[in-house]
């Protein structure tokens, strides 16, 4: 599964590289001189106490915020300012902490909306809903149904998402992101607000996405157990600064990380 | 018992994606079309056709237009009246300059003029939203209204400031002007409305409808899924204004037979908006329901009380009409923001399990 | 070339040639501006305290004036009618809070905005039903409002200033000052500012949102009544007034929805801009441009500074 635009990167090569990125809102420094990379095919966790700048980091990667300093290189291309829809075209998809689904639409339509990138039949056929427009609709419906099967949400296809329980909404949101066939999937606290069983389900989905589709994943997560089980490498932020970077084992025993979480003054 | 989906299996995605997947719905639609195309023209009185059906269809079309913009894309517009006016005057000027071209073509073409103006006044939607965008559309409304009144070019320098519709024919039968019969005009209007409703339905059920609704529901997330905001919004403005323009042309050419510029004022904009709100934001059938209620109610108010022996002054009718509409708006927004269309859906849901309660 | 001259040079020459006319036009603009400001003030009050954009503010102006005049027509003495009208406006505020604001309390703003459309049309119908739709004459004399004009010799000619306009300006200033003191000094005023800041925080310190809303809508009603009296005294009471109320929207765009000084400054700018535009540039285009000129000014503002001169920047967070 490859997204449009940009050269292909070998598995294990660097897919995304964040270099010396700094972002400040007025006087508040959200992110200060942070550098790390994400390798293709891996699951990278970004963790840290509240207010560490994790969501800001994600927002920078997908083009919502523009850092004052530093640069982002994605698939070998360094870019200055990127608009959110550019991120989509280049192959970056995202889910949100507070589920950002289209509430007026059904689950199926939400995920179909994720296919918009790939649908090109022109306006004239759309007017008639015939010929190329209908063929395209059916073809993409096929792909979307694969995702629906994968996420096991068949029964709720036609339910307006506003009526779904929280856990299912998060799954639909994941489905919409997957529908974009991204190279890089950004997950912002995908397990937030879930009980143990739901977390296990979601963890399995995350691993399966990485396995089955080969999608590189960057996720923000607070549950340490999940982070240790699921991720290949971890980046730890605190007060906007990177304080650790390595495998889960390395990071877990890092004193600076322990201090940050225990709230030791530094 | 009657209205059930059981036993109706879809064997292809195309079938599942059909607009009316349930057989009973398709039969219902066929019945409605039959009534509209055969029963009403054959048996309906001249009054029914001229004073009820033709304007009802025209306002439904305008309501569909506004619904595409406000209900599906979430862009509140208070300029509907002006866009209808653009269509009407465009048609008038076109047929004045080229009287030999078929009027049907000019009515359709006038939609494009409206669409262009719609896109122009929709450009601010790049930077402003919500209430502020509504104010921008009011700017369009007031400016265009002024043009219709103060720029004599629009009404061919006619001293009265009003326009009168010339006689135009189709296949030898007059369809506009004094000699056109109401049945003929009804068929032309019905034709336009059926075709354009079908097209609108195609749009909203496909990729474009999803793009519009995504922009309405959460435009930041829509951008992230690769939807470009400005083209999507401008397309909504263009399509919506097209529909309103054609409705305006139909209003003048096939109903009133003429127009004073005051017809396309801000009150018309509000009326169409009310039709959309009450009928259901984001529902094509709702546009018809809303038009029916808002348009037919005053007629009912005017004619039924005298039949029941209660005398009612025509001015009072208008006052009560305003009060009822105002109260209905508030009521619907409180109780059922998705309007009559939602109530209709709920009714159908109940019908699906009838005679069982659930 | 000739067109450019007509637009950019000629009007200014005209202004210079007859400065007394310029002063007159400026004065007229200021007076209209004061009235726009008052209407905008009502909007700002309600928006600040309840986040509702009350489209019906304009019709409230008409309704208040109509009630006053209507009562008087039925034989009620002027000042008693005034007191009764104030009571009516209170009942209106109460009804609005109960029937519209409370049921819609958690809905998105656009829904509340549309609900005020419904309120507007309801009040139009209701007002016309009860008081009749003909134009009425404001009971200016009975309320001891001055009549006649003062002729000032200045700027090379004569400038005529209506006494009622002076009265309007004074009363408006008193009203604004009164509201300012009310907000800054009294307990209720503080509560209103708290509610404007954050509904939830206000609730958590025990402020009753419902009471605040009634008070605010009542205050807006009083502002509407004052505006109605002033405007009616200048040009009679009719439902055309509510179209004039639509003019308040550009004022709010200019001044910012949340700012009282903004409403005032915005109103004056729009009022003067409109009158100057109509008088000096109007004949070029066919006159009557007052109907849309304010909106175009507002539109231009919207594109460059959406929050207005004094408003707060709207920041969207994800």
Domain residue ranges of chain C, discontinuous segments joined by + = 2-304
pLDDT of residue A3: 45
Angle at the Cα of C120 (from C117 to C121), degrees rounded to 5? 95
Report the pLDDT averaged over residues A204-217. 92
Which of B87-96, C178-187, C295-304 is most confident? B87-96
Q: Which domains does chain A show, CATH number per domain?
A: 1-91+182-266 (3.40.50.300), 104-180 (no CATH)
What the block records as the tokens of A107 is 């689950």
The answer, yes or no, to whether residue B311 has pLDDT greater than 70, is yes
Q: In whole numbers, what is the pLDDT of chain C averaged over residues?
A: 81
For residue A261, what are its two tokens? 């979480």
Percent helix / strand / coil, chain C, rounded to 5 = 75, 5, 20
pLDDT for A80 equals 65
Could you tell me the CA-to-CA distances from C218 to C7, C91, C95, C212, C225 in Å, in that order?
Answer: 45, 8, 11, 10, 10
Residue C153 forms beta bridges with which residues? C158
* Contact with chain A for residue C318, Cβ under 8 A: yes
What DSSP string runs through A30-81?
Answer: EEEEEEEEEETT-EEEEE-STTSSHHHHHHHHTTSS--SEEEEEETTEEES-
C-chain residue closest to A58, CA distance? C318
Minimum Cα–Cα distance from C317: chain A residue: A64
Pair B341, B60: CB distance under 8 Å: no
DSSP letter assigned to residue A160: B
Helices and strands, counts by H and E, chain A: 10, 10
Residue A248 has pLDDT above 70, yes or no: yes
Looking from the CA of B297 toward its CB, the CA atoms found within 13 Å total: 19
Looking at residue C238, its pLDDT comes to 66
Q: What is the mean pLDDT of residues C66-70?
A: 86
Q: Is the pLDDT of residue A6 over 70?
A: no
Does position A58 have pLDDT exceeding 70, yes or no?
yes
Q: Give the per-residue pLDDT at C90.
A: 92
Instruction: Please give, rounded to a whole number of angstroms, the shortest distance from the CA of C55 to a CA of chain A.
Output: 26
Instruction: Give the mean pLDDT of B98-109.
Output: 89
Predicted local confidence at residue B2, as pLDDT: 59
**Range from A105-109, A135-139, B241-245, C128-132 carrying the lowest mean pLDDT:** C128-132
Of the two residues C2 and A179, the one the predictor is more confident about is A179
B214 vs A102, A117, A145: nearest CB: A102
Tell which residue, B46, B54, B59, has the closest CA to residue B278: B59
Of A181-190, B60-69, B255-264, which range is least confident? B255-264
Rounded Cα–Cα distance for residues C34 and C56 (Å): 19
Looking at chain A, which residue has its C-alpha nearest residue C315?
A25
- C52 DSSP 8-state letter: -
d(CA A107, CA A168): 10
CATH of domain C2-304: 1.10.3470
C-beta atoms surrounding A121 within 10 Å = 16
Query: Is residue B51 pLDDT above 90, yes or no?
Result: no
Q: Which of A140, A3, A176, A158 is nearest to B221 (CA)?
A: A176
Percentage of chain C lying above the pLDDT 90 cut = 5
Query: Which range has the worst mean pLDDT, B102-106, B329-333, C109-113?
Result: C109-113
Per mean pLDDT, which of B45-49, B123-127, B193-197, B215-219 is the most reliable?
B193-197
For residues A238 and A258, is the Cβ–Cβ distance under 8 A?
A: no
Chain A CB contacts of B213 below 8 Å: 102, 104-105, 109
Half-sphere exposure at residue C11, Cβ-oriented, CA atoms within 13 angstroms: 16
Q: Give the pLDDT confidence score for residue A5 in this predicted structure.
A: 46
Which residue of chain C has the CA closest to A100?
Answer: C318
For residue B355, say if its preceding peptide bond is cis, omega within 30 degrees of 0: yes
C126-153: burial string, b at 16+ Cβ within 10 Å, e else: bbbbebeeeebebbbeeeebeeeeeeee
Length of chain C, in residues: 318
B339 DSSP assignment: H
B243: confidence class by pLDDT, cuts 50, 70, 90: very high
Residues B131 and C314: their CA atoms lie apart, in Å, by 13
Per-residue pLDDT at C240: 62
Q: What is the mean pLDDT of chain A?
A: 87
C123: which chain B residues are within 8 Å (Cβ-Cβ)? 326
Beta bridge partners of A216: A184
**Residue A2, pLDDT above cutoff 50:** no
How many A×B Cβ pairs under 8 Å?
107
Q: What is the DSSP letter of C267?
A: H
Average pLDDT value for residue range B259-263: 85
Residues of chain A in contact with residue C318, where contact means CB-CB under 8 angstroms, are 59, 64, 96, 100
Choose the weakest-confidence range: A261-265, B189-193, B214-218, C212-216: A261-265
Percent of chain B predicted with pLDDT > 70: 97
Which of the residue ranges A55-69, A86-100, B89-103, C198-212 would you say has the lowest mean pLDDT? C198-212
Q: In the structure encoding, which two tokens stand for residue C54, read together?
A: 């009350």
Q: Mutate one of A125, A126, A128, A146 to test the B interface: name it (highest B CB count within 10 A).
A: A126
Burial letters A128-165, b for 16+ CB under 10 A, else e = ebeeebbebbeebbebbbebbebbebeebbeebbeebe
Of A127-131, A220-224, B169-173, C90-94, minimum mean pLDDT range: B169-173
- Can you tell me the distance from the alpha carbon of C81 to that of B283, in angstroms, rounded to the nearest whole number? 48
Min Cα separation B58/chain A (Å): 21
Separation between Cα atoms, residue A1 and residue C247, nearest integer Å:
56
**Interchain contact, B333 vs C113, CB within 8 Å:** no
Residue C313 has pLDDT above 70, yes or no: no
Q: Is B150 on the interface with C (CB under 8 A)?
A: yes
Q: A127 Cβ partners below 8 Å, 6+ apart?
A: B199, B202, B203
In angstroms, the first-to-last Cα distance of chain A is: 45
User: Residue A100 and residue B221: Cβ atoms within 8 Å?
Assistant: yes
* Radius of gyration for the alpha carbons in chain B, expressed in angstroms and rounded: 21
B4 or B293: which carries more pLDDT confidence? Answer: B293
C touches which chains (3+ CB pairs under 8 A)?
A: A, B
Q: Which among A61, A29, A22, A3 has a CA at the least distance from the CA of A218? A: A61
Q: What radius of gyration, in Å, describes the C-alpha atoms of chain C?
A: 21
Q: What is the pLDDT of residue A1?
A: 39
Residue B329 pLDDT > 50: yes
Write the CB contacts of A143 (distance below 8 Å, at least 6 apart in sequence).
A115, A179
Instruction: List the single range of B42-46, B146-150, B267-271 with lowest mean pLDDT.
Output: B42-46
What does the DSSP 8-state code read for residue C277? I
| 3-class SS shares of chain A: helix, strand, coil, % to 5 | 40, 25, 35
Q: Which residues of C touch A64 (CB under 8 A)?
A: 318
Quote the tokens at residue B8: 């109706």
Q: Lowest mean pLDDT: which of A77-81, A189-193, A203-207? A: A77-81
pLDDT band at B15 (very low <50, low <70, confident <90, very high): confident
Of A5-9, A201-205, C144-148, C294-298, the one with minimum mean pLDDT is A5-9
Mean pLDDT, range A118-147, rounded to an integer: 88
ipTM confidence score: 0.88
Q: Are the beta carbons of A137 and B17 closer than 8 angstroms?
A: yes
Touching chains, A (3+ CB pairs < 8 A): B, C
Predicted pLDDT at B5: 65
**What mean pLDDT do residues C86-109 have?**
87
**CB–CB contact A88 B224 (8 Å):** yes
How long is chain A? 266
CA–CA distance, A90 with C64 (Å, rounded to integer): 59
Q: Domains of chain B: which residue ranges?
A: 44-265
At A184, give phi and psi (nearest 5°).
Answer: -125, 125
Name which of A78-92, B335-349, C13-27, C298-312 the model is least confident about. Answer: C298-312
Of B139, B220, B328, the CB nearest to C299: B139
């Amino acid at each position: 599964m490859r997204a449009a635009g940009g050269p292909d990167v070998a598995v294990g090569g660097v897919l995304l590289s964040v270099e010396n990125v700094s972002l400040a809102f007025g006087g508040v420094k959200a992110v200060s001189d942070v550098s790390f990379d994400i390798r293709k095919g891996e699951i990278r966790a970004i963790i840290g106490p509240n207010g560490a700048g994790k969501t800001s980091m994600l927002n920078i990667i997908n083009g919502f915020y523009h850092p004052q300093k530093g640069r982002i290189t994605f698939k070998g291309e360094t870019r200055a300012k990127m608009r959110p829809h550019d991120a989509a075209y280049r192959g970056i998809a995202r889910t949100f902490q507070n589920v950002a689904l289209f509430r007026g639409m059904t689950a199926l339509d939400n995920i179909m909306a994720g296919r918009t990138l790939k649908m090109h039949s022109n306006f004239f056929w759309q007017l008639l809903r015939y010929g190329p427009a209908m063929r395209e609709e059916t073809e993409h419906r096929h792909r979307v149904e694969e995702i629906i099967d994968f996420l096991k949400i068949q029964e709720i296809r036609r339910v307006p998402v506003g009526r779904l329980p929280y856990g299912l909404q998060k799954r639909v949101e994941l489905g919409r992101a997957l529908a974009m066939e991204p190279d890089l999937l950004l997950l912002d606290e995908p397990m937030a607000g879930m009980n143990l069983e739901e977390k296990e389900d979601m963890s399995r989905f995350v691993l399966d996405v990485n396995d089955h589709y080969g999608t590189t994943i960057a996720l923000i997560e607070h549950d340490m157990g999940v982070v240790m089980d699921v991720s290949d490498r971890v980046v730890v932020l605190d007060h906007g600064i990177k304080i650790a970077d390595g495998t889960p084992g390395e990071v877990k025993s890092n004193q600076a990380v322990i201090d940050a979480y225990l709230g030791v003054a530094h | 018992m009657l209205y059930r989906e059981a036993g109706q299996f879809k064997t292809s995605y195309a079938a599942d994606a059909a607009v009316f997947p349930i057989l009973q719905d398709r039969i219902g639609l066929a019945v409605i079309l039959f009534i509209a195309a055969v029963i009403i023209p054959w048996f309906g009185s001249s009054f029914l056709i001229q004073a009820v059906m033709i304007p009802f269809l025209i306002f439904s079309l305008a309501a569909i237009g506004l619904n595409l913009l406000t209900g599906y894309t979430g862009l509140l517009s208070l300029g509907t009246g002006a866009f209808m006016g653009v269509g009407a005057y465009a048609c008038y000027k076109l047929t004045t300059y080229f009287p030999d071209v078929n009027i049907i073509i000019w009515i359709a073409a006038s939609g494009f003029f409206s669409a262009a103006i719609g896109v122009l006044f929709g450009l601010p939607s790049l930077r402003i939203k919500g209430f502020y965008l509504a104010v921008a559309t009011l700017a369009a409304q007031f400016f265009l209204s002024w043009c219709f009144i103060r720029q004599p070019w629009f009404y061919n320098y006619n001293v009265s400031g009003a326009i009168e519709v010339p006689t135009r024919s189709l296949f030898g039968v007059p369809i506009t002007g004094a000699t056109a019969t109401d049945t003929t005009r009804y068929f032309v209007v019905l034709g336009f409305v059926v075709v354009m409703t079908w097209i609108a339905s195609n749009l909203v059920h496909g990729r474009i409808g999803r793009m519009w609704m995504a922009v309405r529901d959460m435009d930041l997330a829509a951008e992230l899924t690769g939807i470009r905001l400005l083209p999507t919004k401008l397309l909504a403005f263009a399509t919506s204004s097209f529909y309103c323009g054609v409705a305006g042309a139909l209003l003048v050419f096939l109903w009133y037979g003429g127009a004073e510029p005051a017809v396309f004022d801000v009150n018309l904009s509000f009326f169409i908006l009310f039709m959309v709100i009450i009928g259901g934001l984001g529902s094509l059938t709702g546009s018809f329901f809303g038009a029916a209620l808002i348009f037919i109610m005053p007629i009912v108010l005017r004619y039924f009380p005298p039949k029941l022996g209660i005398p009612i002054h025509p001015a009072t009718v208008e006052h009560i009409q305003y009060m009822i509409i105002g109260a209905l708006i508030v009521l619907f927004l409180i109780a059922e923001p998705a309007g009559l269309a939602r109530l209709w859906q709920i009714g159908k849901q109940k019908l699906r399990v009838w005679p069982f309660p659930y | 070339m000739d067109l450019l001259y007509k637009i950019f040079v000629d009007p200014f020459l005209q202004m210079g040639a007859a400065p007394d006319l310029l002063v007159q036009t400026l004065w007229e603009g200021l007076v209209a501006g004061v009235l726009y400001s008052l209407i905008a003030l009502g909007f700002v009050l309600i928006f600040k305290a309840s986040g509702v954009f009350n489209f019906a503010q304009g019709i409230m102006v008409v309704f208040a004036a109509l009630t006053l005049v209507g009562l008087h027509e039925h034989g009620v003495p002027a000042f008693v009618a005034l007191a009764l009208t104030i009571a009516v406006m209170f009942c209106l505020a109460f009804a609005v809070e109960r029937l519209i604001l409370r049921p819609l309390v958690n809905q998105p703003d656009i829904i509340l905005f549309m609900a005020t459309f419904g309120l507007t049309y309801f009040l139009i119908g209701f007002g016309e039903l009860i008081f009749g739709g003909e134009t009425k004459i404001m009971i200016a004399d009975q309320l001891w409002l001055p009549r006649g004009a003062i002729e000032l010799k200045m700027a090379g000619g004569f400038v005529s200033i209506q006494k009622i306009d002076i009265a309007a300006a004074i009363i408006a200033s008193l009203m604004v000052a009164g509201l300012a003191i009310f907000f800054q000094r009294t307990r209720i005023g503080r509560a209103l500012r708290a509610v404007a800041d954050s509904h939830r925080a206000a609730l958590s310190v025990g402020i009753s949102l419902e009471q605040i809303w009634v008070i605010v809508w009542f205050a807006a009603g009083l502002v509407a009544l004052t505006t109605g009296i002033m405007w009616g005294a200048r040009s009679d009471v009719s439902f055309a007034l509510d179209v004039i109320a639509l003019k308040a929207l550009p004022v709010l765009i200019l001044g910012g929805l949340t700012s009282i000084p903004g409403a005032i400054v915005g109103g004056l700018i729009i009022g003067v801009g409109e009158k100057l535009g109509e008088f000096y540039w109007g004949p070029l285009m066919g006159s009557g441009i007052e109907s849309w000129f304010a909106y175009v000014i507002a539109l231009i503002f919207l594109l460059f500074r959406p929050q207005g001169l004094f408003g707060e920047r709207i920041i969207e967070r994800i």
